[in-house]
């Protein structure tokens, strides 16, 4: 069987909604051959090119048509490929926590992988290189809280924000993990979070 046909069969056997990279096929096959197969499938509308080097095996909905992957799914796929850690920051951290209802058009992650910017349809995904210290916290909720509060800034942390965080932490059941993780946060965030956790523990 031709190598190109082998790659094509592998792709068609994958679950719909899969994000693909040329590098997924280069351990067994030539890079240029794999790239041409992916490009040919794009021309046949069997694959979608999300951005340079990033492809998508489209998942269809009868009513909505193509269900495109989220920025989070794309970012996680890139992080997995690069064996890198990522943390959502800024307005996207606020959105993921539920402290904002607006989906940001510019999603920013801190990473220990390569810095890059990717445009996917009308959304931009940015990876900013950071120090290992900023990636020391493994718990996702702790990271989101720290980054969300950094985005808001000390002056905007009112009782409404604190009550929302208290509810989020209460529902998660991860107050002890967050209490441990928060030592890596700036002093003002640490102070606010320890106060919230103390209230949770006293309830």
Backbone region of residue 38 per phi and psi (left: phi > 0; alpha: psi in -120 to 50; beta: other values): alpha
Name the token pair of 178: 């967050």
**What average pLDDT does the structure give for the chain?**
91
Residue with the two structure tokens 């808001």:
152
Instruction: Enumerate domains of the chain plus CATH numbers.
Output: 3-58 (1.10.10.10), 70-136 (no CATH), 138-203 (no CATH)
Question: Whole-angstrom distance between the N-terminal and C-terminal Cα of the chain?
Answer: 67
**pLDDT value at position 30?**
83
Name the token pair of 31: 């890079």
Q: What is the pTM of this model?
A: 0.85
**pLDDT value at position 28?**
78
The backbone torsions φ and ψ at residue 165, rounded to the nearest 5 degrees and listed phi first, read -65, -40
Q: Mean pLDDT over residues 99-120, rounded?
A: 92
28/1: higher pLDDT: 28
Q: Mean pLDDT over residues 99-103, rounded?
A: 90
Neighbouring CB atoms inside 10 A of 192's CB total 20
| Residues 184, 187: Cα–Cα separation, whole Å | 9
Residue with the two structure tokens 């940015």:
126
The H or E element containing residue 201 is helix 187-202
Helix spans in the chain (H): 3-12, 31-43, 71-82, 90-97, 140-152, 159-172, 175-181, 187-202
3/42: higher pLDDT: 42
pLDDT by residue (tens digit) across 151-188? 999 999 999 999 999 999 999 999 999 999 998 789 99
């Amino acid at each position: 069987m031709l190598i190109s046909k082998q790659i094509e069969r592998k792709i068609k056997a994958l679950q719909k909604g899969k994000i693909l990279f040329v590098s997924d096929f280069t351990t067994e096959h030539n890079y240029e051959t794999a790239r041409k197969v992916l490009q040919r499938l794009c021309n046949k509308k069997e694959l979608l090119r999300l951005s340079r080097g990033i492809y998508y095996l489209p998942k269809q909905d009868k009513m909505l048509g193509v269900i495109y992957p989220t920025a989070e799914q794309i970012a996680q796929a890139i992080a997995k490929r690069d064996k890198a850690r990522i943390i959502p920051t800024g307005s996207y951290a606020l959105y993921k926590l539920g402290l904002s209802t607006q989906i940001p058009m510019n999603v920013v992650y801190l990473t220990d992988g390569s810095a890059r910017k990717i445009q996917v349809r009308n959304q931009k995904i940015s990876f900013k290189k950071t120090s290992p210290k900023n990636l020391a916290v493994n718990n996702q909720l702790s990271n989101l809280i720290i980054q969300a509060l950094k985005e808001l800034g000390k002056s905007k942390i009112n009782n409404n924000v604190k009550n929302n965080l208290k509810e989020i932490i209460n529902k998660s059941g991860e107050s002890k993990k967050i209490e441990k993780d928060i030592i890596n946060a700036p002093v003002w965030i640490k102070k606010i979070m320890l106060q919230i956790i103390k209230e949770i523990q006293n309830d």
